Structure 1
Amino acid sequence: MAQKQEEEEKVRLDKWLWAARFYKTRALAKAAIESGKVHHRGERCKPGKEPRVGDEFQIRAGFDEKTVVVQALSIVRRGAPEAQALYAETEASIAKRENAAAMRKAGATGMTTDGKPSKKQRRDLFKFRGSGNHD
């Protein structure tokens, strides 16, 4: 009986990431791990790694990088509320993601534009691109 309980506690990292709904399929989770998008203690992970409760993982997906702490283990993919109970994102990670999203929304320089560039901005663009005389 003790061995069966031990087997239930063992779960592969790719399966846990899929069950926690970070990736839509296990294949995508495995590919993300193998391409170095998932780190544990600053080092790349392998798909067969066994996460434990309390482990901290850095997960990169698109523009976002999340730092999550494992709260529970599961090999079954369930609804989003149950999946969110499997991990907790750190406060620093949430703040960093929100700040990055605000910067992306404002643009790379942090300046917002009202659509069409002004005449001066157009001249600057043409000068920057090295284009000739544009009227």
Structure 2
Amino acid sequence: MGVEGAGSVRVDSWVWSVRLSRTRSAAGDACRGGHVRVNGARAKPAQAVRVGDEVRVRADGRERVVIVKRLITKRVGAPVAVECYEDKSPPPPPREMTAPIGIRDRGTGRPTKRERRSIEKLFGRPPTDPQ
């Protein structure tokens, strides 16, 4: 199962193994981009992680804070992965707090050509000639 008895494991490998990242290369990119912190300091992909370390991973607009309980090097199923860390993350924001993207009421937005003509007529502006 890839369980390490004692010692340390690379942070990118551990983050991928416990399913905090979809791929190992994405975990490495997150480390290089400064989105992974170990005990408060920015982590490089090859930095060692030991039992008891605090790992913070920022992904998908949310920060996950976990305490390492067990070291593993191979990716495992979700039930086993949850046993390898203690989750101290703040709860995610409620769904109604996040704004829906690309949805607007019918009739809002840019006026149609007909509506523009009636607006120009209302304000007494001369109609624009498309010459």
Aligned pairs, number: 107
SS at match of 2:64: strand
Counterpart position of 2:96? 105
Q: Matches of 1:24 and 1:57 in 2, distance apart?
A: 17
CA–CA distance in structure 1, aligned partners of residues 41 and 73 of structure 2: 23
| Bigger radius of gyration | 2
TM-score, structure 1 normalization: 0.66
Cα-to-partner distance string for 1:5-59 (whole Å, 9 max, x where unaligned): 66xx331111101110111221111001100110123321011111111111111
* In the alignment, structure 1 residue 116 sits paired with structure 2 residue 116: no
Runs of at least 5 residues in structure 2 that lack an aligned partner in the other structure: 111-115, 123-131
Q: Which amino acid aligns with 1:39?
A: R
Q: Secondary structure at the match of 1:94?
A: coil
Identity %: 34
Structure 1 segments (4+ residues) deviating >3 Å? 132-135
Residue matched to 1:68 = 66
User: Equivalences for 1:1-135 in 2 at 5 Å?
Assistant: 9-90=7-88, 93-95=89-91, 97=92, 101-102=93-94, 105-107=96-98, 116=105, 133=119
Aligned residue type for 1:116: D
RMSD: 2.9
Paired residue type of 2:35: K
Alignment gaps of 5+ in structure 1: 109-114, 127-131
Q: Matched residues in 2 for 1:28 and 1:107: separation?
A: 25
Give CA-to-partner distance per residue, 1:40-89, whole Å, 9 cap, x none: 23321011111111111111011111111001000011111111111111
